[in-house]
Structure 1
Amino acid sequence: MSDLTPEVRDLLAAVLEAIDLPHPATAAGAETHDRLLAARAMHARIALRNLLDDGPDLGPGWNARYLRERLAQHPVTGYVTAEQANAALEQGKTWSEAVALPAEGTDAR
């Protein structure tokens, strides 16, 4: 893929960032995960449509910046990821402690 321009690679990286959300540790986190994924995928779709459809030629760089601005409005928070839960278990926490969301303002999950 070395024949891709840096702007196209950046847009593809932004699309991957939009849809590559970590898996939730529990079924309880699935609703939040799915809601975030749907919102982020919608913005990725808009960015790709802007690039591919007939319209103003804003270019892949502009679309990558647009997408990252929208992703910042939908940060991956509100659920415990499988990786976070596993790390907590390795630190000796119980399963209940490992999958509990931290008190508001104490962690950036």
Structure 2
Amino acid sequence: MQNRSTSMPTPECPDEPLRDLLAAVLEALDIPAPATVGHADAYRQALEDRAMHARVALENVLVDDGTQLGIEWETAYLRERLAEHPSTYVTVDQARAALADGKSWMEAVQPTGGEGR
């Protein structure tokens, strides 16, 4: 099918299992920014861990060596790994919400354990 305004092919929508895997990869990589510079190391570590799990899932789907477990399995496994690695830093949105609730800045940016994404 052609897009008449640009004469470029209209991209086809990927099937549901592939869309679900791509959504899980986006969830892995699209984590919220930390509220302070002091949380930057925790943010980088969380992103590094999550990116590694996403890379492994993509590699397992793309490698054609007869050992694939399928896109659905890889997607579920990726989501399980992501759930095991929640962020441990305070996000910008969490700090803003705490400030709106009347907390001080120091209280707002104090990690409470596993509350980010």
Select which of 64, 72, 84 maps to 1:61.
72
RMSD: 1.7
Select which of 15, 35, 43 maps to 2:45.
35
| Structure 2: segments with no counterpart, 5+ residues | 1-10
Scaled by the length of structure 1, what TM-score is found? 0.85
Aligned-partner residue type, residue 85 of structure 1: A
More displaced 10-residue stretch of structure 1: 86-95 or 37-46: 86-95
**Matched pairs, number:** 104
C-alpha separation between the residues in 2 aligned to 1:101 and 1:41?
A: 23
Select which of 89, 92, 95 maps to 1:82.
92
* Identical amino acids, percent of aligned pairs: 52
Matches within 5 A, 1:1-109: 3-55=13-65, 56-76=67-87, 78-102=88-112, 108-109=114-115
C-alpha separation between the residues in 1 aligned to 2:92 and 2:58?
A: 30
More displaced 10-residue stretch of structure 1: 84-93 or 42-51: 84-93
Structure 1 residue 58 displacement after superposition: 2.5
Higher relative contact order, chain-length normalized (CA < 8 Å, sep 6+): 1
More helix by share: 1
Structure 1 residue 54 displacement after superposition: 2.0
Structure 1 residue 93 displacement after superposition: 1.7
